[in-house]
């Protein structure tokens, strides 16, 4: 299976850059489309290509119907003109071009088309991702009551990327229906938008306005773009190969025998997984954004230092930004947002996070861990906010004091980490045992090896600590300076590229025991 850290993807990228260097600028999008089809087939197989094509063709045709065939009054005007031509009649003086009710009829037809195409896309997604959800639900219920439930798993093919391109197609259809986006007239352009290798495997969940034009007409690449792209690629590889893969060893060691560990070890593993998930996912985003920059394509940013958040709501504005933007625009606001009273606002919040958890997978560990629990956090936070404001006014302490901001960040990290424990667990029972195990005295199995019995040797553990320190300092710089470049000057940036490449080759994790070809979010 091809992934972003495989040798196959490296060769594919090199071949694409070589061909685009020969062809004219106008031919670049055809190279990107060919690369995307090759990547899709290598990463997911022919089934993935087939169903992606079906979804894309349906979305393309439906958008044309929404914009053209059922514009207000068009169908009535066509029928009336045909009737007059056959009867020899002309238009009566003062007759309105569009009869009464034509606009309403056209509006109903447009809504019908939209509902059909959205239902079709969601039906494909539901079958391939959630066919076993009823069985998992019954199993979870029986586990909580102390009983066993046996059921037969529904076997079906696993479609790579379906969670991402389905949402992109749905968002595009709604934008065309609302008149916010013009329907794309070229099927190859639309196919590149939905199937582009840079966001096919793990996102970001782009919009046509955000990435479609950039893919349809890639910009010319300057030497500065090459430097920025290489730095982003190397940053992603550093996060994945140097940090995430070492954290994965710690997490897998403890979670693999969680009942034998206790207290501090389970807490350490929970913290390690939060950092692993971030460095894995953010590393992938850096890598694909960097590769895209080499081709003159700009993708949406998906992270903005999320662990500096002072509240859960702020965290979800910084983590998986494009998914949050999609749910806010197409679910939360249409449901009424915060415009229809407090109770409706909280209900809409829970609905959005229910869908967010469900999007991650058809298991209740996902639905609760990254869904409902996060919604409950946000509602409780909103309810307590007035009390917090009143308390700090009473004690005459500024809420912006550095120590209070630090405590709020720690609190947010702890709450998010609890949700990620469920996200990492196989079942709700496993998650409950891990969380309860954090309260008992620390212990570890006798066979456990490595520093702090984590499975990591002393050298790997030291590299991990240094790498995490570097990550923290760079993240702190970005938090303070925003988009300001950390490295300036072409010579310094070039030297930095070779230096980072050297560090990755020396300290990256390779070989037995590591799975650098697999990113966590590629499963969703």
| Residue 312 to residue 217: CA distance in whole angstroms | 38
| One-letter-per-residue 3-state SS of 11-46 | HHHHHHHHHHHHCCHHHHHHHHHHHHHHHHHHHHHH
Strand, helix or coil for residue 207: coil
CB 228 within 8 A of CB 295: no
| Residue 99 to residue 293: CA distance in whole angstroms | 51
Instruction: For residue 103, give both structure tokens.
Output: 């606009």
**Residue 234 to residues 129, 283, 458, 489, Cα–Cα distance (Å):** 33, 9, 25, 18
Where is 267: in which H helix or E strand?
A: helix 263-294
User: Residue 510, Cα to own-chain centre: how many angstroms?
Assistant: 26
By CB atoms closer than 10 A (0-12, 13-18, 19+), residue 16 is buried
CB 138 within 8 A of CB 151: yes
| Residue 297 to residue 36: CA distance in whole angstroms | 14
Strand, helix or coil for residue 341: coil
| Residue 89 to residue 81: CA distance in whole angstroms | 9
What are the φ/ψ torsions at residue 303 (nearest 5 degrees)?
Answer: -140, 150
| Residue 458 to residue 450: CA distance in whole angstroms | 7
| Residue 467 to residue 377: CA distance in whole angstroms | 31
CB 216 within 8 A of CB 266: no
User: Residue 477, Cα to own-chain centre: how many angstroms?
Assistant: 24
CB 375 within 8 A of CB 305: no
Is residue 360 annotated as a catalytic residue, yes or no?
A: yes
Asked if the bond preceding 204 is cis, omega within 30° of 0, the reply is yes
Beta bridge partners of 303: 319
Q: How many residues does the chain have?
A: 524
CB 36 within 8 A of CB 200: yes
CB 124 within 8 A of CB 51: yes
**Residue 427 has what DSSP assignment?**
S
**Residue 482 has what DSSP assignment?**
T
CB 298 within 8 A of CB 220: no
Could you give the residue numbers annotated as active site? 360
């Amino acid at each position: 299976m091809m992934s972003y850290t495989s040798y196959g993807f490296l060769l594919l990228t090199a071949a694409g850059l070589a061909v685009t260097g020969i062809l004219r600028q106008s031919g670049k999008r055809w190279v990107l489309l060919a690369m995307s089809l090759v990547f899709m087939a290598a990463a997911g197989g022919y089934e993935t290509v087939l169903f992606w094509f079906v979804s894309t063709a349906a979305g393309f045709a439906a958008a044309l119907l929404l914009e053209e065939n059922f514009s207000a009054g068009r169908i009535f005007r066509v029928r009336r003109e045909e009737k007059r031509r056959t009867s020899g009649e002309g238009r009566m003086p003062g007759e309105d071009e569009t009869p009464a009710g034509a606009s309403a009829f056209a509006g109903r037809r447009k809504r019908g088309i939209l509902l059909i195409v959205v239902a079709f896309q969601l039906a494909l997604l539901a079958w391939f991702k959630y066919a076993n959800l009823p069985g998992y639900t019954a199993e979870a219920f029986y586990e909580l009551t102390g009983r066993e439930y046996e059921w037969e798993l529904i076997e079906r093919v696993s479609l790579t990327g379906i969670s991402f391109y389905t949402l992109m197609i749905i968002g595009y259809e709604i934008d065309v229906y609302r008149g916010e986006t013009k329907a794309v007239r070229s099927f190859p352009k639309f196919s590149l938008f939905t199937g582009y290798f840079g966001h096919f495997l793990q996102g970001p969940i782009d919009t046509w306005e955000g990435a479609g034009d950039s893919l349809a007409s890639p910009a010319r690449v300057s030497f500065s773009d090459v430097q920025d792209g290489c730095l982003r690629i190397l940053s992603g590889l550093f996060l994945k190969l140097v940090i995430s893969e070492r954290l994965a060893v710690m997490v897998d060691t403890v979670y693999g025998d969680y009942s034998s560990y206790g207290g501090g070890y389970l807490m350490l593993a929970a913290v390690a997984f939060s950092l692993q998930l971030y460095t894995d996912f953010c590393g992938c985003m850096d890598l694909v954004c960097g590769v895209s920059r080499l081709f003159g394509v700009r993708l949406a940013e998906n992270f903005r230092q999320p662990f500096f958040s002072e509240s859960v709501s702020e965290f979800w504005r910084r983590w998986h930004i494009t998914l949050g933007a999609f749910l806010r625009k197409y679910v939360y606001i249409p449901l009424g947002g915060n415009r229809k009273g407090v109770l409706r606002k909280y209900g809409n919040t829970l609905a959005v996070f229910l869908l967010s958890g469900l999007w991650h997978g058809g298991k209740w560990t996902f639905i609760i861990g990254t869904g409902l629990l996060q919604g409950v956090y946000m509602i409780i936070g909103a309810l307590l906010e007035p009390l917090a404001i009143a308390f700090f006014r009473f004690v005459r302490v500024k809420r912006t004091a550095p120590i209070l901001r630090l405590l709020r960040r720690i609190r947010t990290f702890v709450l998010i980490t609890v949700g990620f424990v469920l996200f990492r667990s196989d079942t709700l029972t496993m998650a409950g045992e891990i969380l309860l195990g954090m309260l008992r005295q620390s212990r570890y199995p006798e066979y456990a090896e490595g520093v702090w019995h984590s499975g990591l040797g002393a050298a790997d553990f030291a590299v991990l600590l240094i790498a995490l320190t570097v990550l923290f300092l760079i993240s702190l710089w970005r938090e303070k300076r925003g988009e300001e470049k950390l490295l300036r000057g072409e010579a310094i940036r070039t030297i930095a590229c070779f230096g980072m490449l050297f560090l990755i080759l020396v300290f990256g994790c390779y070989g037995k025991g590591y799975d650098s070809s697999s990113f966590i979010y590629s499963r969703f």
